[in-house]
Amino acid sequence: MTTTTQEIIEKFARLPISEKREVVSVILRDTLEVETPALSDDELVLNAEEIFLELDRREEAKDGES
């Protein structure tokens, strides 16, 4: 991931939820217009694993706050 991409992600994380929803909406709409290659099964598994690990981290952080 490039430095610029990382900076965008970090700035996105600091946005209020309402603005995050707007950004996601625009990105999803624009993404529908972009042709993307099909992912292999291995790529899908790796992406799913990353998502679940992030969800676990968020859940642990949430539990630590209470």
> In angstroms, rounded to a whole number, what is the distance separating the alpha carbons of residues 12 and 6?
10
What is residue 24's predicted lDDT score, i.e. its pLDDT? 95
What is residue 66's predicted lDDT score, i.e. its pLDDT? 66
Is the pTM higher than 0.75? The answer reads no
How much is the average pLDDT of 41-53? 94
How much is the average pLDDT of 23-51? 90
DSSP string of 21-44? Answer: HHHHHHHHHHHTTS--PPPPHHHH
